[in-house]
Structure 1
Amino acid sequence: MSEFNYDTIPYIGEIGALHGKFDPAGAVKDHKNLAERQKLNNKIVESLEKAIELSGLKNGMTISFHHHFRDGDYIVNLTLDKLAEMGFRDLIVAASSLSDCHAPMIKHIKSGLVQRIETSGLRGELAEAVSRGLMDAPVTFRSHGGRAYAIETRELHIDVAFLGAPSCDPYGNANGYIRGVDQGIMCGSLGYAKTDAQYADKTIVITNHIVPYPNIPFGIPESDVNYVVVVDEIGDPEGIMKGATRFTKSPMELLMATTCADVIEATGRFTEGFSMQMGSGGASLAVVRFLRERMIRQKISASFALGGITGQIVEMHEEGLIKKILDVQSFDLTAAQSLKNNRFHSQISASYYASPSNKGTAVNQLDIVVLSALEVDINYNVNVLTGADGVIRGAIGGHPDTAQGASVSIIILPLTRSRIPCVVDRVNTVVTPGETVDVIVTNHGVTVNPRRPLLAEKIRKYGIPLCSIEDLRDKARKIVGDPDPVEYTDKIVGIVAYRDNTVIDVIRQVKE
């Protein structure tokens, strides 16, 4: 190289001459072929224990998990067992959601391994135990968008993310399916895991299937992964796809779905290029079926469908009725396979889906969202988290995110369930504030939020009779009467955060 004073280059400043580890005069070129490189120079470590040691995890830190494996997940229990064996204590578990299969966490809470939980939902024995005062610290419940926002703003700082993946290459490119393989573990989108991987200080991908580099398209890029661990099993395929969606034959749910489809058509939003998100409950899925018939009849198509994606949405996409799919969570095997095979079926992160920090976030582009509920009250507040007995038995999910983001939010629920009223004076737990709810559809009538007079006028002109929310409450009372109020202690077992991380409600311990 010729002699030159690099400090004299105008506007550039001091950069110095080429030297150091990338200096070609001192560099050692790797002449191995690709297969040899992947065996010798990669991110795979010999065990989960080794990956934990390398991550620098310490007592009191925060670890995270995703819930794309739902009730078939092995990763949470596997990891907590290993951490307990290694002697860790006082960890904060920040899972995107927790299911029935995570009941073994109870022993780790009792032993002192798990000090606190952050999640979107709890179910099963773990939820029962928390509701009855298992933990000293209250559980923080966040929506999917609120969780992404908390991670982005570092209000929820993740020290180490443990993320299960059905496929991963030696350098960490991970996905929710295996290209060219239709058997084995498949969860589809890794939307919730994507945000964890991006923001965690260290990310450990746990997989049972190493594929050749590069594993593309990837759900999580290698640039967000520090270590890869190979284990025999990461989940139960039947549990992953079990119970996420169901097709209803209930006359009551079909009646509500028909009415809901009428309401959607009446809003004026049901036009060429509209956008939508549907829940996974029986009535919500039935709405999709009735919308499909109307779209074919009127020769219109949707620009995109969003959220947790079901096989019905995939079928409409393949028919040309939905142009694009934005998938944050694949709810069934059909959706997971579609993500692998369809060019315009794209997996998105929780941040892309619903973080309030992003004005262009996908929920803000929704025309219509149809959501289920456990109960609603006369102020249009919605509860999807606690049962009539006060016990935690659900998840916030994207409920408040989509209700606020969509132009029209519709809540669909029966007037009563098992002699329990679903329209009440005040819900047990406020998850979605009434200000963001537009329409409530029940099997005994439709009500429009008084804050939406123009919407109410459109629906009436369509020929749909409307009633007040108080009328629905009174009908429910006549059918089942007033239930005995739930008794609570003073102890707070859960904090419900709104999507901007402000506290919207608290959950108290159920009195025995």
Structure 2
Amino acid sequence: MINTAGRMIPDQIAGLAQVRPYAGPFATIPTGQMTGPKLRVNMPKSEKLIKSIDHVIEATGLKDGMTISFHHHFRNGDYVLNQVIEAIAKKGIKGLTLAPSSLNDINEAIIPFIEQGVITAIETSGGRAKLGKLMTSGQLAKPTIIRSHGGRARAIEAGDLKIDVTFIGAPCCDRYGNMNGINGRSACGSMGYAMVDAAYADKVVAITDNLVPHPVYPISIPQTQVDFIVVLDSIGDPKGIASGALRISRDPRELLIAEYATGVIENSGYFKDGWSLQLGSGGASLAAAKFIKEKMIAQGITASFGVGGITAPFVDMLEQGLIKTIFDVQDFDIPSIESLKNNPNHLEMSASYYANPHNGGPVVNNLDVVILSATEVDVDFNVNVITDSNGIIMGASGGHSDTAAGANLAIVVAPLLRGRLPMVLDKVNTIVTPGETVDVIVTERGIAVNPRRTDLIDNLKGTGLPVMSIHDLQKLAYDMAGKPETIAVSDEVVAVIEYRDGTIIDVVRKPL
């Protein structure tokens, strides 16, 4: 079948009970009830503390074929996922579905256990390097399911992703299971992705290297959701969890892209007192934050809130009173973690509050402006952030499609060429975010506005910004680097790209 995004989707896909094609960003209306975990009871004076990962695996009743989950707030400092998978493998348990909020390079250590059949399926936001190659190789028993952060929260709450056991790395935890991410040597900041897992998994295991007396305060995940606690010497490498303040790019190309993106925002009609924004952690986005801050000061503008994965430039704007409130689902650097710990206007939120399309209203619905990155875009404004030019998985969906759908102005920033390859194509290799939710493409050579947004086209006239059609932007790229060859792929589907509402917007086929 051909979905609304114009992609050919097989009628049947191995491992999927139902194939629902993408029909539009807001076409799917949910029915039924939210799911929930099994009922549990904790007797007075009972002990949640278990002496090892090995023993807690037994205590949870983990068996062949179950689904386990982890959070990725520790990023490339994560010790928890690898240790737990290794312990599970030693017990001879096989056929598991691994459902982390995302995977990082450090998790490549689990590849041997995938090859041994301990893990036979993966549902996540994405993968990179060797893990991405493995997902694209067809070695798994069924295609990897790629979900956005909001889509993953929706899937858990709707019962599409049923988690049997979640293992939550807890930088600070008391003896009854209350935990937070802001205290301890492994502090990661917000635990927004883990919150949904804790609320809906049948069994919840807290793994900590900082056990403290009851009660912990503040509480990110409460004791009422936690079954067992394991104490390790270390759950993460602080150097891989969070850096110092991320540096503003000095790359002339990224600075020019940031300057153009800022110009689009300033003249969009949304840049006014009380506006709201989300910026990424990439070089151009961080530079844009600096330029936006300068314009806010110059024009006396204050934002109502900032949202998303948080970085030091956002924190700086909060401290200077340029942003009234920050909603935080993940922290990328130490200043952000410290701000969450100390500033009452810096608020922790769950992935569901952030971006789940099927609840009473995620905060992305209140966004005025979001700046997003891209691996490649096409003349229909579709965006790929999952596969490389060779068709191999190398990125993550994250909150890309969630914020693009919710924001009044979704700006995608990307270089016109990456290496010797054009980034504006006839058709992207893999659609993650549909073009109907993308408003502007910004490159260092020019800016293209979605023809649907006649208001933006009018607002940008006479600004001096290099606005052109998407086809002219593509021609520039092709004139410089030539038209890229189409990737040869087989009929084998190795990954499914779910749109945030649970429909299938695209599939990844195994490259030949």
Q: Same fold (TM over 0.5)?
A: yes
Retained in 2: the 8 A contact 1:245–1:281? Answer: no
1:107 aligns with 2:112: yes
Residue equivalent to 2:9: none
1:90 aligns with 2:95: yes
| Residue 260 of structure 1, CA deviation | 0.7
Deviation sequence 1:159-206 (CA, Å, 0-9, x none) = 10001011100011111121xx6xx21110000000000010110010
1:121 aligns with 2:122: no
Residue equivalent to 1:394: 395
Residue equivalent to 2:346: 345
Residue equivalent to 1:440: 441
Letter in structure 2 aligned against 1:448: V
Alpha-carbon separation, structure 1, partners of 2:339 and 2:244: 19
Letter in structure 1 aligned against 2:177: G
Alpha-carbon separation, structure 1, partners of 2:463 and 2:483: 34
| Residue 465 of structure 1, CA deviation | 4.1
1:314 aligns with 2:330: no
SS in structure 1 opposite 2:483? coil
Matches within 5 A, 1:143-222: 143-178=148-183, 184-222=185-223
Residue equivalent to 1:404: 405
Size of the aligned set, in residue pairs, is 470
SS in structure 2 opposite 1:285? helix
Alpha-carbon separation, structure 2, partners of 1:42 and 1:342: 34
SS in structure 1 opposite 2:428? coil
Alpha-carbon separation, structure 2, partners of 1:79 and 1:510: 32
Retained in 1: the 8 A contact 2:489–2:510? Answer: yes
Retained in 2: the 8 A contact 1:410–1:440? Answer: yes
Retained in 1: the 8 A contact 2:243–2:334? Answer: no
Retained in 2: the 8 A contact 1:381–1:432? Answer: yes
SS in structure 2 opposite 1:371? strand
SS in structure 2 opposite 1:306? strand
Matches within 5 A, 1:101-500: 101-178=106-183, 184-241=185-242, 245-500=246-501
Alpha-carbon separation, structure 1, partners of 2:449 and 2:367: 19
Retained in 2: the 8 A contact 1:386–1:394? Answer: yes
Retained in 2: the 8 A contact 1:278–1:371? Answer: yes
SS in structure 2 opposite 1:122? coil
Retained in 2: the 8 A contact 1:188–1:329? Answer: yes
Structure 1 vs Structure 2 CA RMSD: 1.5
Letter in structure 2 aligned against 1:154: G
Q: In 2 relative to 1, CA 459–359 (structure 1 residues): closer, same or farther, beyond 3 Å?
A: farther
Letter in structure 2 aligned against 1:290: F
Retained in 2: the 8 A contact 1:495–1:503? Answer: yes
% identical equivalent positions:
51
Deviation sequence 1:125-171 (CA, Å, 0-9, x none) = 11122223332311000000000000000000011000101110001
Q: In 2 relative to 1, CA 311–447 (structure 1 residues): closer, same or farther, beyond 3 Å?
A: same
Task: Tell me which moved more, 53-62 or 236-245.
Answer: 236-245
| Residue 430 of structure 1, CA deviation | 0.1
SS in structure 2 opposite 1:295? helix
SS in structure 2 opposite 1:121? coil
Letter in structure 2 aligned against 1:185: S
Alpha-carbon separation, structure 2, partners of 1:359 and 1:244: 35
Residue equivalent to 1:19: none
Retained in 2: the 8 A contact 1:414–1:422? Answer: yes
Q: In 2 relative to 1, CA 152–294 (structure 1 residues): closer, same or farther, beyond 3 Å?
A: same
Retained in 2: the 8 A contact 1:244–1:280? Answer: no
Letter in structure 2 aligned against 1:434: G
Letter in structure 2 aligned against 1:325: I
SS in structure 2 opposite 1:262? helix
Deviation sequence 1:349-381 (CA, Å, 0-9, x none) = 000000001242100010000001111000000
Deviation sequence 1:299-339 (CA, Å, 0-9, x none) = 11111100000011001111111111100000111111111
1:77 aligns with 2:82: yes
SS in structure 2 opposite 1:395? coil
Letter in structure 1 aligned against 2:397: I
Retained in 1: the 8 A contact 2:76–2:240? Answer: yes
Residue equivalent to 2:49: 44
Q: In 2 relative to 1, CA 469–243 (structure 1 residues): closer, same or farther, beyond 3 Å?
A: farther
1:61 aligns with 2:66: yes
Alpha-carbon separation, structure 2, partners of 1:404 and 1:244: 29
Retained in 1: the 8 A contact 2:445–2:466? Answer: no
SS in structure 1 opposite 2:99? strand
Retained in 2: the 8 A contact 1:267–1:455? Answer: yes
Alpha-carbon separation, structure 2, partners of 1:260 and 1:410: 7
| Residue 264 of structure 1, CA deviation | 0.3
Retained in 2: the 8 A contact 1:163–1:203? Answer: yes
Letter in structure 2 aligned against 1:508: R
Alpha-carbon separation, structure 1, partners of 2:331 and 2:383: 25
Q: Which protein has the larger Cα radius of gyration, Structure 1 or Structure 2?
A: 1
Retained in 2: the 8 A contact 1:246–1:281? Answer: no
The TM-score, its normalising length taken from structure 1, stands at 0.90
Retained in 1: the 8 A contact 2:244–2:333? Answer: no
Retained in 1: the 8 A contact 2:244–2:334? Answer: no
Alpha-carbon separation, structure 2, partners of 1:506 and 1:42: 46
Unpaired stretches in structure 1, ≥5 consecutive residues: 1-27, 31-39
| Residue 233 of structure 1, CA deviation | 1.2
SS in structure 1 opposite 2:308? strand
| Residue 47 of structure 1, CA deviation | 1.6
The TM-score, its normalising length taken from structure 2, stands at 0.90
Alpha-carbon separation, structure 2, partners of 1:317 and 1:103: 37
Residue equivalent to 1:12: none
